[in-house]
Amino acid sequence: MIRKFGILGLMAGACLSLSAARAETSLVFTSWGGSTEDMQEKYWLLPFTKESGVAVQKDGPTNYGKLKAMIDTGNVTWDVVDVEADFAAKAANDGLLEPVGVDNLQKVDPRFRNKFYVGSFYFSFVLGYKGATAAHPKDWQEFFDTQKFPGKRALYKWPSPGVIEMALLADGVPADKLYPLDLDRAFRKLDTIKSSIRWWSSGAQSQQMLASGSVKYGMFWNGRVQALQDGGADVGMSWTQNITMADMLVIPRGSHHVAEAQKLIAFATGAKPQAEFARSTGYAPVNMDSIALLSPAEREKLPQAHTEGHVDPDIAYWAAHRDEIAKRWYEWQAR
């Protein structure tokens, strides 16, 4: 999906402690790279190894084609993989996943657990803008008003829940009437700003665009805008109609370490690891006991503090129509 890293280079990271290196069992954890994966390593992988003695190596970034090829050929080298929610749901439907051990995950928000996948964390697509006190669109409808708010707009490049819903909301579709998605209507709306769109394909790229001012407005992951604010960048965000989305942890069918992978997933979704990860990233914990471990100021930065504006995509719909939407998406981008 994005660029690939060599496993040897990533394994050179700090994931193998001395005690872990002596362990007989070793898991491979795959995620998307960048600061998010750094925090997953710090708060999930390293403490898990220290507690269990099970070494965890890293590979990545997550690549759906590579994952599918592993499963199809029976040469599965990844044990726990961080994927997007709609992919997880489709992969479960297609029989590509091992059970995650849901009996150990009862404290996870029921929205984010299933026999074959469990939330890694969740986040919101928010409207971000350059200049915290500058005039800016207050919602998605104004985001499309290039007369009132001229300038380049940043949008997520890949077909996943988010941009299609945003376009329909901007065109006046109520949040509870989004499904089934009217793709013709969504793409007609996107046509109106197509010449102003700049696409981002990774969180780091989106931050660079906004911080540098190469775009004035955009649709971003809340944690990425929060990180810019925490670093002193002059940016702001609106939580109006924030569109929630989750990453999921899955175990590929054919993993040689299913039991250990389930233990890692149970650890990573525990209250404390989830709270520590949320504190450092601005992404929401999926464990319902984690919020109590965070201060009021820390909670205010999370999607849980802005539930009045939540728009929850229909992940089952996306799982059923993912290929169809992706085909339309790429055809439209290429025009």
Q: Mean pLDDT over residues 13-39, rounded?
A: 68
Q: How many angstroms separate the first and last alpha carbons of the chain?
A: 21
Q: What angle do CA 197, 201, 205 make, to 5 degrees?
A: 85
Do residues 61 and 82 share a domain?
A: yes
Collapse the DSSP code of 319 into the 3-class scheme (helix H, G, I; strand E, B; otherwise coil) and give the result. helix
Phi, psi of 221 (to 5 degrees): -75, 130
Q: Are 207 and 125 in contact (CB under 8 A)?
A: no
Cα–Cα nearest to 173, from 140, 142, 195: 140
Do residues 110 and 157 share a domain?
A: no
Q: Identify the pLDDT of residue 164.
A: 97
Check pLDDT > 80 for residue 23.
no
How far is the C-alpha of 82 from the C-alpha of 89, rounded, in Å? 13
Number of helical (H) and strand (E) elements in the chain, helices listed first? 15, 9
Give domain status of residue 157, yes or no. yes
Q: Are 327 and 147 in contact (CB under 8 A)?
A: no
Q: Mean pLDDT over residues 296-318, rounded?
A: 93
How far is the C-alpha of 237 from the C-alpha of 115, rounded, in Å? 35
Q: By mean pLDDT, which of 33-42, 132-141, 282-291 is the weakest? A: 33-42
Do residues 153 and 221 share a domain?
A: yes
Q: By mean pLDDT, which of 1-5, 69-73, 264-268, 324-328 is the weakest? A: 1-5
Do residues 234 and 89 share a domain?
A: no
Do residues 159 and 177 share a domain?
A: yes
Check pLDDT > 50 for residue 135.
yes
Q: Mean pLDDT over residues 175-188, rounded?
A: 97
How far is the C-alpha of 285 from the C-alpha of 56, rounded, in Å? 22
Per-residue pLDDT of 198-222, as tens digits, reads 999 888 899 999 999 999 999 999 9
Give domain status of residue 183, yes or no. yes
Per-residue pLDDT of 84-124, as tens digits, reads 999 999 999 999 999 999 888 999 999 899 999 999 999 99
Q: By mean pLDDT, which of 38-47, 260-269, 300-309 is the weakest? A: 300-309
For residue 257, what are the β-bridge partners?
Answer: none
Q: Are 118 and 102 in contact (CB under 8 A)?
A: yes
Do residues 130 and 221 share a domain?
A: yes
Give domain status of residue 15, yes or no. no
Check pLDDT > 80 for residue 26.
yes
Do residues 82 and 214 share a domain?
A: no
Per-residue pLDDT of 155-180, as tens digits, reads 999 999 999 999 999 999 999 999 99
Between 17 and 291, whose confidence is greater? 291
Q: What share of the chain is helix, strand, coil (3-state, %, to 5)?
A: 45, 20, 35
What CATH number should be reported for the domain holding residue 163? 3.40.190.10
Non-local (6+) Cβ contacts of 64 within 8 A are 1, 83, 87
CA quadruple 209, 298, 243, 137: dihedral sign? negative
* 24 band by pLDDT with thresholds 50, 70 and 90: low
Give domain status of residue 106, yes or no. yes
Check pLDDT > 50 for residue 189.
yes
Check pLDDT > 50 for residue 76.
yes
Check pLDDT > 80 for residue 5.
no
Percent above pLDDT 70 for the chain: 93
Do residues 236 and 173 share a domain?
A: yes
Do residues 144 and 223 share a domain?
A: yes
* Cis status, amide bond into 61, omega within 30 of 0: yes
pTM: 0.84
Check pLDDT > 50 for residue 17.
no
Do residues 118 and 182 share a domain?
A: no
Number of domains in the chain: 2
Give domain status of residue 7, yes or no. no
If you ran DSSP here, which 8-state letter would residue 249 be given? E
Q: What angle do CA 171, 176, 180 make, to 5 degrees?
A: 75
Neighbours of 20 (CB within 10 A): 21
Q: By mean pLDDT, which of 110-114, 194-198, 239-243, 275-279 is the weakest? A: 110-114
Between 23 and 254, whose confidence is greater? 254
Q: Identify the pLDDT of residue 33.
A: 83
Q: Identify the pLDDT of residue 14.
A: 38
Check pLDDT > 50 for residue 22.
no
* 329 band by pLDDT with thresholds 50, 70 and 90: very high
If you ran DSSP here, which 8-state letter would residue 287 be given? B
Do residues 54 and 183 share a domain?
A: no
* Assigned token pair, 106: 């009862």
Do residues 260 and 321 share a domain?
A: no
- As to burial, measured by CB atoms within 10 angstroms (0-12 exposed, 13-18 middle, 19+ buried), residue 230 is exposed
What range does the domain containing 320 cover? 123-245+310-334
Q: Identify the pLDDT of residue 65.
A: 95
If you ran DSSP here, which 8-state letter would residue 250 be given? E
Q: Identify the pLDDT of residue 7.
A: 30
Q: Identify the pLDDT of residue 94.
A: 96
